Amino acid sequence: MARPWAKKLYNSSAWKKLRKAKIESVHGLCERCEKPGYIVHHKIVLNAKNVNDPLIALNINVLEYLCILCHNTEHMGTAEPITAQGTAFDEYGNLIKVGETFERWKL
């Protein structure tokens, strides 16, 4: 969920076009482990002061496409997702009950 000060950025057509271009440029794969990607990550942490700076917020050179595990490692120092008891994230970032699997439609 986007922070209130970031919603305008993430809802903008400029961000949506840039996000799509970034994902296409890496063929939809995580740039660290080459598994299917999940999220376009800003290498420079966005905050309320720099979110309107296009050299940071809308610069493809400071973006990285990551899978959920690599993104969790970046932000939490661990690849293990933090979830409610009895739930977990599958390899595609879907929240599931422990013991279930999620079949993802693939191209």
- Domain 4-79 matching CATH 3.40.1800: the answer reads yes
Percent of the chain, pLDDT > 70?
Answer: 70
Per-residue pLDDT tens over the stretch 34-49: 999 999 999 998 999 9
Per-residue pLDDT tens over the stretch 12-38: 999 999 999 999 999 999 999 999 999
Closest C-alpha among 21, 18, 1 to residue 56: 18
Give 52's contacts (C-beta < 8 A, 6+ positions apart). 9
Q: Any idea what the Cα angle at residue 38 is, between residues 35 and 40, rounded to 5°?
A: 115
DSSP-H helix ranges across 26-67: 54-57
The β-bridge relationship of strands 95-97 and 87-89 is: antiparallel
Residue ranges covered by each domain of the chain: 4-79
Whole-model pTM: value is 0.70
Tell me: pLDDT of 88 over 80. Answer: no
Tell me: pLDDT of 105 over 50. Answer: no
